[in-house]
Amino acid sequence: MEDKKELRKRILNIRNNMDIEDVRKNSSAITEKIVNSDIYRQSNVVFIYMDFKNEVMTSQLIKHMLSAKKRVAIPYTDTVNTVLIPSEITGEADLVLSSLGYYEPKNVLPVYPEEIDLVIVPGVVFDKSLNRIGFGKGYYDRILNKLKPSAKKVAVAHEFQVLESIPNEEHDIKMDMLITEKGIWKGDTSSL
Ligand SMILES: Nc1ncnc2c1ncn2[C@@H]1O[C@H](COP(=O)(O)OP(=O)(O)OP(=O)(O)O)[C@@H](O)[C@H]1O
Ligand SMILES: [Mg+2]
């Protein structure tokens, strides 16, 4: 079996070369599935990533959340302590483009992990048992293990990012649900 590093490289190579129209199309289909789900309807405080480099796009979803009066937090990357700080935003004016090419909060307004009831999780490779491989720094593993047990971890990905089975380690946090443009995989405790 390929190790995590090889899998990241192989799948990122495909994703980096995607046609932008396909990224948009997949993102719309995934957004549609999320906004029509019970998990989404029942959530009040959402932690959601800002996409870059052909990740499933989240801007439509964030707009929907804000107009549905949900509280929205996006990651502020604290590279010194290697942690993500969920930071509340209320609109585009609260965003600033980082040097790495993704949007970050202009001001850090922390939302405590215990307040969050839904996380939209990015990733590089997933499998049908809801395992996840990210960029390889452990940022998401470190924040996801601080959530309250009732919080839902919903990953989004393009279908080609989902493999039959991938390696996972003790510290890797499993998703509750995985959504692609083609389908949905659910864990034991989730209902959509
Ligand atoms: N909860 C944790 N506490 C401390 N270190 C952790 C934790 N989770 C992961 N790490 C460390 O982070 C490093 C990278 O982990 P891993 O390969 O799982 O990254 P990843 O899940 O692909 O990345 P990311 O979560 O940033 O998208 C590992 O060396 C691991 O020991
Ligand atoms: Mg991990």
For residue 46, give the CATH number of its domain: 3.40.50.10420
In this prediction, residue 135 carries a pLDDT of 97
Mutate to test the pocket of ligand 1, among 137, 140, 161, 168 (most ligand atoms within 8 A of CB): 137
CA-to-CA distance for 177 and 192, rounded, in angstroms?
Answer: 9
In the reported structure, the alpha carbon of residue 173 is separated from the centroid of ligand 1 by a whole-number distance in angstroms of 9
The residue range of the domain holding 91 is 4-186
Q: What is the pLDDT of residue 131?
A: 98
Which is the closest atom of ligand 1 to the Cα of 142? Answer: 1
120 CA distance to ligand 2 middle (Å):
15
- Ligand 1 atom 9: the closest Cα is on which residue? 138
pLDDT at 189: 59
Q: Is the pLDDT of residue 164 over 90?
A: yes
- How high is the pLDDT of residue 86? 98
User: What pLDDT is attached to residue 188?
Assistant: 76
Assigned domain for 136 exists: yes
Predicted confidence (pLDDT) at residue 48 exceeds the cutoff of 90? yes
Q: 181 - beta bridge partners? A: none
Is 170 contained in some domain? yes
Model confidence at 192: pLDDT above 60: no
What is the longest distance spanned by two Cα atoms in the chain? 46
Q: How many structural domains are present in the chain? A: 1
List, for residues 140-150, the tens digit of each pLDDT value.
999 999 999 99
Q: Is residue 19 over pLDDT 80?
A: yes
pTM here is 0.96
- CB of 174 shorter than 6 A to ligand 1: no
What number does the ligand 1 atom closest to the CA of 145 have? Answer: 1
Q: How confident is the model at residue 2 (pLDDT cuts 50, 70, 90)?
A: confident
146 close to ligand 1 (CB < 6 Angstrom): no
CA dist 46 and 61 (Å) reads 11
**In DSSP terms, which residues pair with 154 in a beta bridge?**
120, 177
Q: Is residue 192 part of a domain?
A: no
Residue 191 within any structural domain of the chain: no
Residue 102 falls within a domain, yes or no?
yes
How are beta strands 103-105 and 95-97 bridged, if at all? antiparallel
Burial class from Cβ neighbours inside 10 Å (0-12, 13-18, 19+) for residue 136 reads exposed
